[in-house]
Structure 1
Amino acid sequence: MIKDILNDAEHRMRSAMQVLHDDLAAIRTGRASPGLVEKLSIDYYGSPTPLMQLASISVPEPRTLTIKPYDASTLKVIEKAILSSDLGLNPNNDGKVIHLNLPPLTEERRRDLAKHVNHRLEETRISIRNIRRDAHNDMRDFEKEKL
């Protein structure tokens, strides 16, 4: 039973760390990365779908992303989703693919990113503390039941 509690706590902590890792991978640095947009939710026939399931995302140049939808009819929907996201990117649609040019980071945007990273780190720390506290309480309750 104690091993089950510890395994569950470890699994939940690893999940919290994976969420942090994925969130940090999506932060825009000075270079283009498919992680910036691949989890962007697109309203595809009424259901939210990640962009990576609707299009191929490539990085032809260090500051450029190219999004080529598998279905050309989704170009407008993808473009609207990018515009409505808080990424600060302007899509260029040429009828077949969408080009995203990443502007250089401004000092203000860097400060905002640093605040966001610190906020996500603190949320993850709190989450891990809560998981550890729950596991400790579960083990204490188990010991009380055992007596």
Structure 2
Amino acid sequence: MASQMANIPALKDLQGQLTARMTKTVEDFRANLIAVRTGRASVHMLDNIRVDYYGSEMPINQLAQVSAPEPQQIVVQPFDIGVVGLIEKAIRTSGQGFNPMHDGKTIRVPIPPMTEERRKEAVKQLAGILEDHKTTIRNIRRDGNDTIKKATKDKLISADDEKRATEETQQMTDAQIKTLDDMFKVKEKELMTV
């Protein structure tokens, strides 16, 4: 279905802005999903861990090369061997249940199999993140609807245009929320599969 908002001069930019903001929210959720720990090693498992490096919080992947050479192990090779201890400490205290070891140059992070309790906790945590992102999408919808109502009040668009634009905004919102739900279901199945 072609967009009706794009044909209304007063709302031409609004659709692009709403789409961009909603897409950014979906991509942020995708990044959160990638970082969630499953039973298999992934370089993205360390994405949310920050290292205190000379007074600033840095992500591990900016301080080291991160790889997953085996399904049950992540290898971190710092660019500067002086930060090996800092990176190891950040991983150990991240609350993700990792127990890293290092030989002075390389940090090895064994990925233990997840317990049933840990799997359920991860799904619960993800459900909370999902709800936060759905709320963000709904807030974007609200902002769009407020702009549409203001355009009607300022007599820039007709009541029919307002109705069509509001419906289109709702369709966009429904589609993005469905995308979030589908992504969550795939990750939930991956987490709960032993």
Q: Give yes or no for the alignment of 1:9 onto 2:27.
A: no
Q: Give yes or no for the alignment of 1:116 onto 2:117.
A: no
Q: Give yes or no for the alignment of 1:44 onto 2:56.
A: no
TM-score normalized with structure 1 length: 0.95
Picking from 74, 82, 107, the partner of 2:116 is 107
Q: 2:49 corresponds to which letter in structure 1?
A: L
Return the offset for 1:80. 1.1
Which residues of structure 2 form unaligned runs of 5+?
Answer: 1-9, 157-194
Return the offset for 1:72. 0.2
Q: What RMSD, in angstroms, separates the aligned Cα atoms of the two structures? A: 1.1
CA distance, structure 2, for counterparts of residue 32 and residue 41 of structure 1: 19
1:32 is aligned to: 41
Q: Which has the higher strand share?
A: 1
CA distance, structure 2, for counterparts of residue 38 and residue 21 of structure 1: 13
Return the offset for 1:146. 2.5
CA distance, structure 1, for counterparts of residue 82 and residue 56 of structure 2: 16
Q: Superposition pairs for residues 37-116 of structure 1, below 5 Å?
A: 37-116=46-125
CA deviations on 1:69-105 (whole Å, 9 max, x unpaired) are 0000000110111112111101101111000001101
Q: How many residues align?
A: 147
